[in-house]
């Protein structure tokens, strides 16, 4: 079994419900959820003229390879109605692989650890809640250290404990 850290996010059609639905589908199709952060709200990153996002970090124990996990995640996104129209635009669900064991992968369509993780407070805040001492496999710094030095100015608000 492998350990993957994922980030789910939504800003459309009752985002909290969408994140909860993604949680259930991941549990059903991708492996066993070992831990989960609370829900966090933040303004959109990138294209800022859209509704705030709700995000949640998930620690998943999975038998799937990184590529198979990505395929599973993309299928879940499609099942939930995700349409990729505008990069960084509004979305019903987004599921990113942040970390997968301590692996470093750079393949077409699959980069692990997530290349923008150190620059995204909205990903680091929930991730630190469940994996603060986990080391970034390239930077060799803990997630807590990355959060402490993150220059992303967007405020991130914890809105629930689960």
Q: What is the pLDDT of residue 37?
A: 97
- Cβ(82)–Cβ(92) below 8 Å: yes
The model's pLDDT over 28-55, given as tens digits with 9 standing for 90+, comes to 999 999 999 999 999 987 788 899 999 9
Tokens of 132: 């603060």
The model's pLDDT over 89-120, given as tens digits with 9 standing for 90+, comes to 789 999 999 999 999 999 999 999 999 999 99
Tokens of 108: 């077409």
Q: Which residue has the higher pLDDT, 88 or 57?
A: 57
Averaged pLDDT for residues 137-159: 96
Averaged pLDDT for residues 49-68: 96
Q: Please, which pLDDT band fits residue 162 given cuts at 50, 70 and 90?
A: low
Q: What is the pLDDT of residue 69?
A: 98
d(CA 142, CA 132): 6
Cα dihedral value 113, 86, 56, 110, nearest 10: -20
């Amino acid at each position: 079994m492998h350990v993957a850290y994922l980030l789910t996010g939504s800003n459309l059609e009752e985002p909290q419900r969408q994140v909860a639905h993604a949680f259930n589908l991941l549990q059903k199709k991708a492996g066993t959820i070992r831990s989960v952060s609370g829900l966090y709200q933040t303004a959109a990153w990138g294209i800022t003229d859209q509704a705030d996002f709700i995000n949640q970090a998930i620690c998943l124990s999975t038998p799937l390879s990184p590529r198979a996990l990505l395929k599973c995640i993309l299928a879940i996104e499609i099942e939930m109605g995700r349409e990729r129209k505008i990069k960084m635009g509004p979305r019903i669900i987004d599921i990113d692989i942040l970390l997968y064991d301590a692996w470093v992968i750079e393949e077409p369509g699959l980069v692990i650890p997530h290349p923008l993780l150190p620059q995204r407070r909205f990903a680091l805040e929930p991730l630190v809640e469940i994996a603060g001492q986990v080391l970034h496999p390239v930077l060799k710094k803990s997630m807590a250290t990355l959060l402490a030095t993150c220059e992303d100015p967007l405020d991130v608000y914890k809105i629930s404990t689960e």
